[in-house]
Chain A
């Protein structure tokens, strides 16, 4: 690995926190506690990634106008963007990989089976309370967060090989899954969203995933070079 370990822990914590926040935003509607938390956050605007900067600017402007109806407005927009009216397969930005990678935009297709295999290979099972498919973007983001936390533990315990292996799993998952299908989701989010909040979420997620790919490529430079 080419980055010193002190920085590495900070990087892992930052990545984990971002994945956790994004997963939460996709998983369900914003509640008062999350809204308060987001209003107390700072939004970076010259990160070098245009989408991250644009997303953060939109989040900032939207959250600066928060008032008594914001929660309801966000709840309505979440439903409109991710659930839709259910009339057809184009009624919303369905947040499942299968929908965007199967010809007929159906749920529970090959992508979900692949995802399930990867989760099980990493000894991860979804909670019984989660009734939707495992290829929901919230679970895919949470998977990355979970592996980031495991990486952090491995680093603290001095298990560099284990940490590198975990990072490689994250990198492969990012490339093979999250980055491969989410651009289509983000385009549809832009189309269905009526609030800047969910437009910002699409931009920020897109920018962050690309940035994270860059980070992982830097961290795994030796391993990737050795792998050809």
Chain B
């Protein structure tokens, strides 16, 4: 046997009938029609976060919802029914249109450890640890029994201590100062809007006309909504209806005016 024969197996007789067609029934398909393994594989565990860290992570991941989320937590200092929380959330969402329903926001808050749902269980049932017997209905003249669905008693939502600590530490004025410091190039735009909205509530159209043509907003292209959202998130603007500067915004403008009339050190940057 030569070396080539050993390497390529030329000594094995070729049998054309042994070649399997792709459409043969006994072909084992892999890839697109592969059977899944029974076990679901290794699941990577996420790092354990404290309740405070989880809540902060949620707030950071949804900056546009921050104000609403914190307001829900604040509202649930006392036990609240789902309907009550819905009402407050929908009111807040009038000026913060969102794909997140009140139920979904509560779910995210609960998963982050900011809210807990307390079931409405009768004390005697809770103590005994028993499930209530289902109601059975027997129709006269029929042998069949029917189970009747009992409505689940409505529970209540309550904020956790960790969430309330975050709400209580919330300082919109500080957040506003941080906002101006994070994007100093837009300092003038932010303050221009705040100043414009002090006197009376302004429409979105008025604010568009105020800033949309500013050369600073052409590249990257920004519109007034970008700044309104951020100022609203810091509670420096509020919908009345019409956008109006809040006391937090007015205080900041006053502080800026004092600084400029004094040392005049504020130029395109955040106040100290």
User: Which A positions have Cβ atoms within 8 angstroms of B?
Assistant: 38-47, 56-57, 60-61, 63-69, 72, 88-91, 103-105
Contacts and interface: CB of A to CB of B under 8 A. Distances in A.
User: Most A CB atoms within 10 A — which of B35, B143, B148, B155?
Assistant: B148
A90 B35 contact: yes
Contacts of B154: 67
A64 B152 contact: yes
Contacts of B148: 42
Contact of B147 (A45, A68, A105): A45
A39 B151 contact: yes
B17 to A, nearest CB: 22
B146 A42 contact: yes
B145 A57 contact: no
Nearest to B101: A72
Contact of A42 (B34, B36, B147): B147
Interface residues of B, number: 28
A119 B134 CA distance: 43
Interface stretch (B5-13, B25-33, B178-186, B247-255): B25-33
A139 B133 CA distance: 38
Contacts of A69: 103, 107
A90 B33 CA distance: 7
Given A44-B145, A46-B143, A88-B31, 15 more contacts: A39-B151, A42-B137, A44-B146, A45-B136, A45-B145, A57-B147, A60-B134, A60-B149, A67-B154, A68-B103, A72-B104, A72-B107, A89-B33, A103-B25, A105-B33
B150 A88 contact: no
Contacts of A68: 82, 103, 106
Contacts of A42: 137, 146-148
B89 to A, nearest CB: 12
A47 B144 contact: yes
Given A68-B103, A72-B104, A41 B149 contact: yes
B88 to A, nearest CB: 15
